[in-house]
Amino acid sequence: MSATSTEPVLRVRHDSWTRLLYLQLGAFAFFLYAFSPSIDLLKDDLHLSAGVAGLHSTCYAVGVTAGSLSAPWYIRRLGGSRPALWWGLVGLSLSVGLFCAVPALSVTLPAAAICGVFGSLLCIAVPAALSRAHGPETGPAAITEANAVAAFVGIAAPLAVGGAAAAGIGWRTALLSVVPLIGLLYVALGRVREPAWATAEAEPVAVGEAVEAYGLGMVDTAGTSAEIEASSSSDEREPAECGARRVGAQDLADSGTERLGVRAQAAEASTLLVRATVPAPRLPSDQPVRSATFRDLSRRFWINQLAGVCAGAIEFCLTLWCATLLRDRAHLSAGVAATGVTAVVAGMAVGRTVGGRLALRVPIDRLIFAAFGTNLVGFALFWATANPVVMFGGLAVAGLGVSVQYPLLAARGIEMADGQAELAGAVNMFGGGIAVATAPFALGFLSDRVGIHTAYLLLPAFIITAMAAVAASGRWAFREGTIPA
């Protein structure tokens, strides 16, 4: 006789606020994956070298860094997620308009940086709002769905850019189409507001769960601070109230329970909660508090971080310069070659849809090596032939590998940080900025001297370096199931 499970099946609540957040992240994804092939077409319009054109990715990365640093202040200043997200989309629209309106390097470079500022704000605010609205149980799944939606929306972007260029109406028309898309989104869902219960109190999010933001999310710790402060409150608080807030599963207000025992159990429950959240609990006032520094991170963490930088470099080199190699090797028109990014993004969309579930069943080391191996096979297909069909297929396979590399390495780094998850997250984001700022520029610089085909050998060098870094950092205790489906 089989037993029937009585545990409820958790599902993401797809209310209006959740759908709006999904679509707002999708609007940014449309811009991002239209922006990459546009750089190659802008190079032709302004008669730039590949190295100079690659500076646009460097400026974009500088903007991402500035936006990441200012995101907490920005969201608080505007009064919460809803106004911050809409004003972020307005800023993105204006910066895209500036990028397209003035065909001069002195304008396009700073416009790319401004796009990076508002793009990073959107990428941080959306996962944070989803975590707050859905809590620790279904929040990670909601963030996963949001990234999957964004990836599928992004598939259309390079198709639009390539189609517009091939039709003779100009790639700028396709990139600018993100502006009316944002306008339509506001007309349809502009009145939707964040639920009052979500803004009242934020739920803590487990470190491993936060990886589903794919390096773009923030872990909200307001709930954690509230729990810690309440655990050290005065004796005037009733035991039943303490028990309801801290333990939940126990009735700490039993008639025979002493007040001291209640507080001890509450403090123990709070400690267990905080161990699974970010950041570490504040120490009592009579103990000194020392801020974590880079020296607190282990050598293994920094070796793993090298792999993360390589993973970011691979993704942006593929999306930024694959159209150039398609034109050079397969002799495709500029418009058709620009759609090569679609193959990469399609592979990423599929990989991000199934990646979380795979991580529940496959050891994390094995999955990381499989992702880099898949990437290497896809690149070999793309690089070694001049057949456009095979090249597009190779890009799709490479995108499949790219999809999970960075989030898995970010999760690995957090586990190696010995509880310094916020510091590890900051290093991960900074490393991603370094990758975006330097790798596409370096590939473009080399292509001006040795040709794009030879210059693209940087990618297998990045892949091999990343795999060596993962192997060198050794095995570690990574609990299965940390990354939710």
Residue 445 resides in a domain = yes
Q: Which two tokens stand for residue 77?
A: 């200043």
- Assess whether 459 and 310 both reside in one domain: yes
- Assess whether 87 and 232 both reside in one domain: no
- Assess whether 262 and 404 both reside in one domain: no
Sorted by sequence, the CB contacts under 8 Å of residue 113 that are 6+ apart come out as 59, 60, 62, 63, 66
Closest alpha carbon to 337 in 348, 329, 346: 329
Count Cα neighbours of 433 within 13 Å in the Cβ-side half-sphere: 23
Closest alpha carbon to 41 in 428, 445, 341: 341
259 and 271 in contact (C-beta within 8 Å)? no
Q: Which two tokens stand for residue 434?
A: 């370094």
Instruction: Report the alpha-carbon distance of residue 70 to residue 60 in Å, rounded.
Output: 15
- Assess whether 240 and 333 both reside in one domain: no
DSSP label at 269?
H
Closest alpha carbon to 425 in 150, 226, 270, 213: 213
Work out whether the CA dihedral 111, 117, 120, 126 comes out positive or negative.
negative
- Assess whether 233 and 180 both reside in one domain: no
CA 254 from centroid of its chain's CA atoms: 46
Residues in the chain: 485
Per-residue pLDDT of the chain (485 residues; tens, 9 = 90+): 444 444 555 677 888 898 999 999 999 999 998 998 898 889 889 999 888 988 998 899 899 888 877 877 888 888 888 898 999 999 999 999 999 999 999 999 999 999 999 988 888 788 878 877 887 677 666 777 787 888 888 888 888 998 888 888 889 999 999 999 999 999 999 888 887 765 544 433 333 443 344 333 333 333 333 333 444 444 444 444 334 333 343 333 343 433 334 333 333 333 333 333 333 444 444 444 455 566 778 888 899 889 989 998 998 899 888 989 999 999 998 888 888 888 998 998 888 788 767 776 778 788 899 999 999 999 999 999 999 999 999 999 999 999 888 878 877 887 787 766 656 766 777 787 888 888 888 998 999 999 999 999 999 999 999 999 999 887 543 433 333 33
- Assess whether 414 and 315 both reside in one domain: yes
Q: What are phi and psi of 9, to 5 degrees?
A: -85, 120
217: helix, coil or strand?
coil
Residue 306 resides in a domain = yes
Residue 435 resides in a domain = yes
Instruction: Report the alpha-carbon distance of residue 456 to residue 348 in Å, rounded.
Output: 20
400: helix, coil or strand?
helix
Sorted by sequence, the CB contacts under 8 Å of residue 142 that are 6+ apart come out as 12, 18, 130, 131, 133, 134
- Assess whether 23 and 152 both reside in one domain: yes
Q: Which two tokens stand for residue 202?
A: 């934020």
pLDDT, position 264: 38
Instruction: Report the alpha-carbon distance of residue 119 to residue 185 in Å, rounded.
Output: 17
Instruction: Report the alpha-carbon distance of residue 314 to residue 337 in Å, rounded.
Output: 19
129: helix, coil or strand?
helix
Supply the Cα-derived Rg of the chain in whole angstroms. Answer: 24
Residue 10 resides in a domain = no
Q: Using omega within 30 degrees of 0 as the cis cutoff, is the peptide bond preceding 158 cis?
A: no
Judging by beta carbons within 10 Å of its beta carbon (0-12, 13-18, 19+), is residue 166 exposed, middle or buried? middle
230 and 282 in contact (C-beta within 8 Å)? no
- Assess whether 248 and 323 both reside in one domain: no
12 and 18 in contact (C-beta within 8 Å)? yes
> What helix, strand, coil percent values describe the chain, rounded to 5?
75, 0, 25
Domain count, the chain: 2
Residue 35 resides in a domain = yes
Residue 456 resides in a domain = yes
- Assess whether 46 and 189 both reside in one domain: yes
- Assess whether 248 and 329 both reside in one domain: no
CA 485 from centroid of its chain's CA atoms: 16
Alpha-helix residue ranges (DSSP H) falling in 339-387: 340-361, 364-384
Residue 477 resides in a domain = no
pLDDT, position 461: 95
Instruction: Report the alpha-carbon distance of residue 207 to residue 274 in Å, rounded.
Output: 10
228 and 281 in contact (C-beta within 8 Å)? yes
- Assess whether 266 and 183 both reside in one domain: no
pLDDT, position 432: 79
Q: Which two tokens stand for residue 324?
A: 């150039």
DSSP label at 270?
H
Structural domain of 432: 16-195+297-472
Closest alpha carbon to 67 in 32, 92, 34, 36: 92
- Assess whether 149 and 249 both reside in one domain: no
Residue 200 resides in a domain = no
CATH code for the domain of 305:
1.20.1250.20
pLDDT, position 35: 92
Q: Spell 102-122 as b/e; 16+ CB within 10 A means b.
A: eeeeeebbbbbbbbbbbbbbb
Instruction: Report the alpha-carbon distance of residue 241 to residue 79 in Å, rounded.
Output: 30
